[in-house]
Structures are given as C-alpha cells and as structure tokens.
Amino acid sequence: MNYTTDLIYQLALTQVPHIGAVQARILLDHFESAAAIFKARKSALEKIEGIGTVRAAAIKEFDRFAALEPEIRFLEENEIKPLFLKDPGYPQRLLHCYDPPTLLFFKGTANLNAPKIISIIGTRNNTEYGKQLTHTLLEELTPHQPLILSGLAFGVDALAHKKSLKLQLPTVGVLAHGLHTIYPFQHAALAKEMILSGGGLLTEFTSHTRPDRHNFPTRNRIVAGMSDATVVIETAVKGGSMITANLALGYNRDVFAVPGRITDTRSEGCNLLIQQNKAQLIRNGKDIAVAMGWEAVKKPATVQRELFIELSSEEREVVQLLQVKEQLHIDELNRSCGLNSSSVAAALLSLELKGAVQSLPGKLYALS
C-alpha cells in the first residue's frame, strides 16, 4: 500500500494538545495540507479565528514525529488504509458535520461513499421481537443495496452485521478502539468475515487505543454522520443508541425508530423518540425506502409550466439545480450550491411558499 510522506504530519495533527476535530478542520480550511500547518509561522497560526496563541504554540512545540513512525509501520503491515479529511476517498457525508474526524483508518473494501448508507443500532440485550425486526428490515431493504453501518457491539449491532452478510449486503463496523484488536473479542470471526465479504472496519483511533468508555460517544458520531439515516430497533431511554440518534438529528439526518410495547423498557427509548417527533415511526423496510425516496412514486403526467414568479439570485440557483435533476437531497443541494446551508434553507422555504418547490420524504426537494 502506498503511504504518502504527508501521513506523518496528518497523524501528528491528531496528536497535538488542544487541537481537536473542530480546530483541525479550521486549520485545514486555511492551509493546503497537514504539513503546511506545522511549517506555518506561529504568528500566522495565531491570527486564525478559533486557534489563538495557546493552540498555535502547541502546534509549533510538537516534536513527537519520530514516535509516530511505528503507527505507520502498523498500517503498512496490516494493510490498513488511512483516510485524511481532504482525501477523495474520505467519507464525504462526514464533511457536512461540524466535527468530522481528521484521520480515519479503514480495513476493508466497502465503498464508504456508497449511494445509500443506513445505520442500524439498538440495545445490547435485544428481545426476539428486536431480532425478527432487524432481520425483516434488512431483507426488505436488500433490493436497494444499501451499505449497512453499526458498531460491532453485542445485540442489535451484531444482528445487523450478521444478517447483512447472509444477504450479501456490504457492512462496516465502526469501532471505539484501535485496529490492533476487536472488541468484544467474541466478534473477531465476525469482523474477519465482514472484511472478506466486501465490508470492513473503520475507526479514528490509532493502534493500541483501548475501548475506553469515553471513546464510544466519539465513535457514535461517525455512525450518525456517515449515514443517510439511522434506524433504532430497541433501546432504553439512556445509552449509546439514544446518543447516536440525537447526533444524527444534529447532523440533519433522518432518524427512524421501531415502536414497542409501552411496558417494555427495551423499547422505551424508541417510543420516546417517536413521541418527541425526533424519529419517524416505521413498521418495515418499505417504510424506510419510501421515506428516503428510494422507491419511485409514479406521478401523473403534467405539462411543465414556465415560472413567471420573481426569484432572488439564491432562489434562482436552487431552481437551476433542481431543473437538472428531478429531485435532490438537502445535503446534495448544500454541496452543489455556492451558498451556505442557512441560505439554502431560506431559499427553499421561500420557494415552497411561492409554490415553486415541493418538499418530499427523506429530505428530498423537487420542482412543483
């Protein structure tokens, strides 16, 4: 595997004190590469909003480059692919999150920018009801060939990975530790099968990072941010699944939840998400496909009329994009427009009020 000389600087950027994912992204918006950040003058770093004197000093004082060389050897020996924030192969959906990981490590062959990506999460102590629903949902989603993400944990996570393998759907486990090990160790064989079957393992943690408790919420933001939608099967009102669901909402992703009996504590979280309008209630895989706009809905033939309404420059830009494609997801509109996300949202709202654009399920938009 071909590793660039810049990798040592990319690794270093993740190790500088006081520089987290948000600050690293700010720096990379100003500099061409990680190497350029370390070679910049302290005075230039200090002037960047969000960096300041303390962080600039931490960058200039970093001197542990040689200590990172064993990590590069580990990646080479284990054929692990590093994915830097600016790499074309980096999961592009994460770029729409405010705190994307600076550097990811991937073992596998799955397309991390697949056209359709779904996260399936839930309790570690699933019921038979949860097991059957997980299996049924995946069977019904198979015609759409989504990439299935989960966290390789006991319970719903493992059920989703195993069923995906049986259905020949690519599935990726997002880990809360380094790729030197598998946690839980009981899933080592499952992880190997996922790698060999067109899926893989993904983490932002360097080798020999232990699966400490505080790593799991950090991991969960990748599960939420990489997906078009997060599906919660069974969960209590507290725990990792609820954290992931709320992260997905914060990233403007769709969240779906399977309802359960009001007396069942393992469905309490799902029921609460639905009650609070944080998640759409689903009964089966078709509900997800329809909500995401994956199933074509036949519309009666209409004669296209010319728009005589006055449009602002922002509205005109959105309309021109929608004239090229029949429908677009909000993320694609944000990517394609030369506008910030708030301007796109304002233009869409105005166009809806003017009757020029219609909002479709799954955060899709089309001309009326």
Q: What is the CATH number of the domain that holds 69?
A: 1.10.150.20
Residue 121's beta-bridge partner residues? 232
Closest by CA position to 102, among listed 86, 79, 81, 80: 86
Sign of the Cα torsion 172, 174, 178, 182 reads: negative
What is residue 30's predicted lDDT score, i.e. its pLDDT? 93
Residue partners of 299: CB distance under 8 A and separation at least 6: none
Residue 307 lies in a domain: no
My answer on whether 264 and 199 are in the same domain is: yes
The residue segments making up the domain with residue 126 are: 109-291
My answer on whether 237 and 269 are in the same domain is: yes
What is the CATH number for 160?
Answer: 3.40.50.450
Q: How far apart are CA 35 and CA 16, in angstroms?
A: 13
In three-state form (DSSP H/G/I as H, E/B as E, the rest C), the secondary structure along 249-287 is: HHCCCEEEECCCCCCCHHHHHHHHHHHCCCCEECCCHHH
My answer on whether 224 and 349 are in the same domain is: no
Domain count, the chain: 3
Are the beta carbons of 268 and 237 closer than 8 angstroms?
yes
My answer on whether 113 and 257 are in the same domain is: yes
Residue 302 lies in a domain: no
Calculate the CA 49 to chain-centre distance. Answer: 26
Instruction: Spell out where the chain has E strands.
Output: 81-84, 103-108, 117-121, 147-150, 171-174, 200-203, 229-232, 254-257, 280-281, 328-329, 357-360, 364-367
My answer on whether 88 and 114 are in the same domain is: no
Closest by CA position to 254, among listed 275, 219, 273, 228: 228
**Cis previous bond, 100, omega within 30:** no
Tell me which residues of the chain have a pLDDT lower than 70.
Answer: 1-4, 296-309
95 by DSSP, 3-state: which? helix
My answer on whether 246 and 205 are in the same domain is: yes
**Looking at 107, 122, 141, which one is the last position of a domain?**
107
**Looking at 77, 107, 137, which one is the last position of a domain?**
107
Q: How far apart are CA 146 and CA 100, in angstroms?
A: 22
Tokens 């030369």, located at residue: 338
Tens of pLDDT along 223-259? Answer: 999 999 999 999 999 989 999 999 999 999 999 999 9
